[in-house]
A and B are shown apart, each in its own frame.
Chain A
C-alpha cells in the first residue's frame, strides 16, 4: 500500500521558521510536492521535488532525500496568513504523463502573534 506520514499539527509564532516533515512508503516514486489549503478552499501548489536537494521559492523551501524516503517543507518569516493545512503528495510518474497524486493526511499549521 501507499502511506505518507506527516505531523497532524504544528504551532509557531510570527516571524519564526517552521519545518513540516513528510516520510513516505510507496510502491514507486517520481516526485514529492507540497500544497497549502486554507479552510474551505482548494489546495494551492507550493513546491515540487523530483531530485534530492533543496528547492527554494521565496519564503518556502522544500527538501527531498529519495534514499531516506523523506522530505520537508520549510516556511520562513512566518505570517498569520500562513495558518493553513499543508499536504505532502507523492506522484509516481511525471506530471505530464498523467501522474496522479497521493496525499498525506495534512499538517495544520497555526501561526500565533
Chain B
C-alpha cells in the first residue's frame, strides 16, 4: 500500500515555542492531506483539510493562527504548532489521499509534549 511518512515521531518543546511536523507521501502524490489530533484513549479529531496549493480548511473550534498548515507540494504537508502550551500536548496524525486511490493512508503519528 501507499506510504505516508511523518516526522518527527516524538518531540518535546518548551511552552511558547513553535514546533513543525512534516508529513510526506513517499510513493504517491497526495492531492489532499488531513491533520488529526488524538488525546490518549480518545478518538481522532479532524483539525483541518488541505489541498495542494490551497489554504487549509479548518474544522470548527480549531485555531488556524495557532495550527499553521502548509501543503505546498503534492508530497509534503506541514503542521506548525505556534506558541505551544502544555494543553497542546497530543498525538498528531496526518493522512494523505491521492488521485485514483480508494483509501486514505495515515502517517505514523507524532507525539508532541509541551513542557
CB pair B51–A98 under 8 Å, yes or no, is: yes
CB pair B32–A98 under 8 Å, yes or no, is: yes
Residues of B with C-beta under 8 A to A12: none
Which listed residue, B34, B42, B43, B106, touches A100 by the CB 8 Å rule? B34
CB pair A100–B44 under 8 Å, yes or no, is: no
Residue B81, interface by CB 8 Å: no
Q: What band does the interface of chain B fall in when counting residues whose beta carbon is under 8 Å from A? A: 20 to 34
Q: How many A-B residue pairs have CB under 8 A?
A: 61
- Partner-binding segment picked from B11-19, B62-70, B72-80, B92-100: B92-100
Residue B49, interface by CB 8 Å: yes
Whole-angstrom distance between the Cβ of A20 and the nearest chain B Cβ: 14
Residue A104, interface by CB 8 Å: yes
1/0 contact trace for B47-62 toward A, CB 8 Å? Answer: 0010100000000000
How many angstroms between the C-alpha atoms of A40 and B1 in the bound complex? 21
Residues of A with C-beta under 8 A to B97: 95-96, 98-99
Whole-angstrom distance between the Cβ of B53 and the nearest chain A Cβ: 13
Contact flag A96-B99 (CB < 8 Å), given A101-B34, A101-B46, A102-B46: yes
CB pair B34–A44 under 8 Å, yes or no, is: no
1/0 contact trace for A21-51 toward B, CB 8 Å? Answer: 0000000000001000000111111001000
Residue A106, interface by CB 8 Å: yes
How many angstroms between the C-alpha atoms of A87 and B41 in the bound complex? 12
Sample 13 A-B pairs with CB under 8 A, ordered by A number. Answer: A33-B103, A42-B6, A42-B93, A43-B106, A45-B103, A45-B106, A95-B101, A95-B104, A96-B97, A96-B99, A96-B101, A98-B97, A101-B34
Question: 8 new A-B pairs (CB below 8 Å) besides A41-B108, A42-B93?
Answer: A40-B111, A43-B44, A45-B105, A87-B44, A95-B97, A98-B31, A98-B32, A101-B104
